[in-house]
Amino acid sequence: MLDWLRLARTPEVGPATFAQLIARFGSAPSALEELPRLARRGGGKIFVPATEEDTAREWDALEKAGGRLVLSCDPDFPEGLAALAPPPPLISVLGALPRRDMIAIVGARNASALARKFAQLLARELGEARLVVVSGLARGIDSAAHEAALEHGTVAVVAGGVDVIYPPENEILYRAIVEQGAVISEMPFGEAPQARHFPRRNRLISGLSRGVVVVEAAERSGSLITAHYALEQGREIFAVPGSPLDPRAKGANRLIREGATLIESAGDVLSVLGPILGRKFHEPETAPPAAPQIELGLEQEADHVRRRVEEALSAAPVEMDELIRQTGAEPSAVLTVILELELAGRCRRHPGNRVSWAAFPAV
Amino acid sequence: MLDWLRLARTPEVGPATFAQLIARFGSAPSALEELPRLARRGGGKIFVPATEEDTAREWDALEKAGGRLVLSCDPDFPEGLAALAPPPPLISVLGALPRRDMIAIVGARNASALARKFAQLLARELGEARLVVVSGLARGIDSAAHEAALEHGTVAVVAGGVDVIYPPENEILYRAIVEQGAVISEMPFGEAPQARHFPRRNRLISGLSRGVVVVEAAERSGSLITAHYALEQGREIFAVPGSPLDPRAKGANRLIREGATLIESAGDVLSVLGPILGRKFHEPETAPPAAPQIELGLEQEADHVRRRVEEALSAAPVEMDELIRQTGAEPSAVLTVILELELAGRCRRHPGNRVSWAAFPAV
């Protein structure tokens, strides 16, 4: 167990290298043993893996703070993260990681007030639908989403150690999340967040989730990195549109153009996730029938079906093919009757190939 | 010719009925002759077609105003309208109808200032690309689009007669369009616009055009009717996204969800229309190559390719499969070399399965 952490904390060993080493040497102790030889072959002079002492100290400190380590080989390692290629070797957890399906809500730190309000609304409704909202505890959209989802349990993935509160003004929110959900990280306990940690944080946000909602994101923003990971990981990507003249909407709009689902409400998210999760959040809408092919008929046929057409017509416009279906007559005959009724001023045509008695005002 | 107009102006004869009558009886005079008999069969008591006198008076008034009628059987009837099912029997034209490809820009009358500005930008750039901007001369988006496209020729389709200026505050714009483009209508000269005429006006806007851009449109708005016709007519539909919390964006956002192309600039429109019109407005982007499948290799293979990998690596991150391609080596061997270099602290991994020499800061 300690060797697993030690291998993961060795500076040159990232998740991909970690997975490759375990696959090659079978276990963390064997990999640690082989590391110096491999590094020599690569041209390195001295190779220093993480020390046993540092590793033990991290482990203790985390446990003292009420947290725990979950290794990628543990049975309770989150399914979404275990499925990543490569999975993070381990995560630190403060709080209790919910075992329900998760949905990420991410977006700009300098989000507009409107977008923050939208994120809150969305997070609350997705929480009420028993989804766990995941985000990155950043200012703006992230904070708004965590706050609104708190009572349903929410998960914050942070870029530094789980004990490092960043940004500092989120202290109250951070403590509430530890109480009512979980704060997790791939980074060592006590480590300050650095710019280069954020992509790894974002990879975990999408990895934990069944889908990622991008609320407001400029071009080249962190939220787009999260969406990029979501795509790689086969997660659903949802984006909230905005005006092309607002630079904060550029990223989300581009995602939509590239195939992300445009959403305007929690219902839009749930109607996509429902079938995937095998849950029914929403009744699907049925498509309207196609317009009928119209052909000309004869007056004699018309005489036979006139009464049926007159019975089927009503004050409200009805589609021509509905009329044809109801009367069970040839389209050409129904069309001729309608033509005659129309010329007689008794029926009226409406957009969408619909007809009604003339008493009904045209749409 | 006069009978064509007379049949079209007969109150019970809309475009569908007109087309059906011409198809059935071969000509306008024959159809006029048969009308009273058909109406009797439909249960009508007295049938009064448009009078020859009224019809001649309309024709004269239009010509006196400098306009002319174009019948759907005329060789210079606009192609887009001739292809409709049914085509309008005829249109009145004031000004000169340009013979170039057209694009409709439509949207809300109570549009936001931002959306009006966007419509102007779009109309100007589409005009510069030699497309004729078509719209409905309404307040808001329509007026903004016409104004910005004026110098490149623009076409206004109106719901009343071509001589009726509506809304009245658009008088200057109306006169400029007649000078530098055309005002057209399906309705009789002198007729005041009525609510029920607007769907027919909208059908012509989309019919004339290769595509329809919806800039800002609430649910149940006229712009959505235009988009609906565009769909029926096989025209391209473009929509400009907006915040879900802005009711004026609801319609355009829904169009995008239903398959319309999300656009943020004239370039987005042109890159779709280019291939359809056989013109090249825009260089298509190439998709990035897919991520490689990684498998484990042996150290011996690594020894053979180490130098080639070191030569191919650079300070800037390069994709792993580019590296494999450049070295011409087995993926497993390249991967092993990278692993060794990484453990030696000499190379570094980046998001997107890319690697570089360690000197380059991580992205």
Q: Which tens digit of pLDDT belongs to each residue from A72-102?
A: 999 999 999 999 989 999 999 999 999 999 9
Each residue's pLDDT, cut to its tens digit, for chain B (363 residues) gives 799 999 999 988 889 889 989 988 999 999 999 888 888 888 877 788 899 999 999 999 999 999 999 999 999 999 999 999 899 999 999 999 999 999 999 999 999 999 999 999 999 999 999 999 999 999 999 999 999 999 999 999 999 999 999 999 999 999 999 999 999 999 999 999 998 889 999 999 999 999 999 999 988 888 999 999 999 999 999 999 999 988 899 999 999 999 999 999 999 999 999 888 887 654 334 433 333 333 333 567 777 888 888 888 888 888 888 888 888 888 888 888 888 888 787 888 887 788 888 874 443
Residue A144 sits at the chain B interface (C-beta within 8 Å): no
Give the closest-approach CA distance of B64 to chain A in angstroms.
Answer: 32
Q: Which candidate, B228, B226, B256, places its Cα nearest to that of B242?
A: B256
**Which tokens go with B4?**
């064509």
Nearest to A42 among B232, B256, B340 (CB): B340
- Residues in chain A, total: 363
Residue A48 sits at the chain B interface (C-beta within 8 Å): no
Look at B43 and A361 and tell me if their CB atoms are within 8 Å: no
Mutate to test the interface with A, among B343, B354, B360 (most CBs of A within 10 A): B343
Residue A32 near residue A2, CB atoms below 8 Å: no
The count of other CB atoms within 10 Å of the CB of residue A204 is 28
Q: A7: nearest CA in chain B?
A: B343
Give the closest-approach CA distance of A175 to chain B in angstroms.
Answer: 30
Backbone angles phi, psi at B223, to 5 degrees: -60, -35
CA distances from A9 to A2, A204, A335, B96, B232 (A): 11, 17, 78, 76, 61
Q: Which H, E and C letters describe B192-239, residue by residue?
A: CCCHHHHHHHHHHHHHHCCEEEECCCCCCCHHHHHHHHHHHCCCEEEE
Q: List CB contacts of A32: < 8 A, sequence separation 6 or more.
A: A3, A6, A7, A10, A49
Segments in chain A below pLDDT 50: 282-297, 360-363
Mutate to test the interface with B, among A10, A12, A261 (most CBs of B within 10 A): A12
Give CA–CA dist B51/A88, Å, rounded. 84
**Percent of the residues in chain A that have a pLDDT greater than 90, as a whole number:** 64
Q: By three-state DSSP, how is residue B191 classified?
A: coil
Look at B240 and A244 and tell me if their CB atoms are within 8 Å: yes
Look at B253 and A245 and tell me if their CB atoms are within 8 Å: no
Per-residue pLDDT, A298? 52
Residue B225 sits at the chain A interface (C-beta within 8 Å): yes
ipTM entry: 0.71
Nearest to B349 among A16, A114, A115 (CB): A16
Residue B156, class by beta-carbon neighbours within 10 Å (0-12 exposed, 13-18 middle, 19+ buried)?
buried
Angle between helices B2-9 and B52-64 (to 10 degrees): 110
Per-residue pLDDT, B281? 57
Give the closest-approach CA distance of B262 to chain A in angstroms.
Answer: 6
Look at B343 and A35 and tell me if their CB atoms are within 8 Å: yes
Residue B109 sits at the chain A interface (C-beta within 8 Å): no
Cβ contacts of B265 on chain A, cutoff 8 Å? 244
Q: B20: nearest CA in chain A?
A: A296
Mutate to test the interface with A, among B339, B346, B353, B356 (most CBs of A within 10 A): B339
CA distances from A100 to A78, A208, A274, B147, B181 (A): 10, 10, 14, 55, 62
Q: Which candidate, A151, A138, A148, A135, places its Cα nearest to that of A103?
A: A135
Per-residue pLDDT, A280? 62
Q: B259: number of CA atoms within 13 Å, CB side?
A: 7
Nearest to B41 among A340, A345, A362 (CB): A340
Per-residue pLDDT, A294? 33
Give CA–CA dist A74/A109, Å, rounded. 34
Give CA–CA dist A322/A263, Å, rounded. 33
Residue A167 DSSP one-character state: S
Give the closest-approach CA distance of A109 to chain B in angstroms.
Answer: 17
Give residue A277's Cα distance to chain centre: 13
Give CA–CA dist B10/B157, Å, rounded. 22
Residue B18 sits at the chain A interface (C-beta within 8 Å): no
Q: Which candidate, A21, A12, A91, A93, places its Cα nearest to that of A50?
A: A12
Query: What is the helix (H) or strand (E) element at residue B93, kind and residue range?
Result: strand B90-95
Per-residue pLDDT, B295? 31
Dihedral over alpha carbons B151, B157, B163, B169 (to 10 degrees): -70
Look at A243 and B244 and tell me if their CB atoms are within 8 Å: no
Look at A344 and B39 and tell me if their CB atoms are within 8 Å: yes
Residue A337 near residue A346, CB atoms below 8 Å: no
Give the closest-approach CA distance of B66 to chain A in angstroms.
Answer: 32
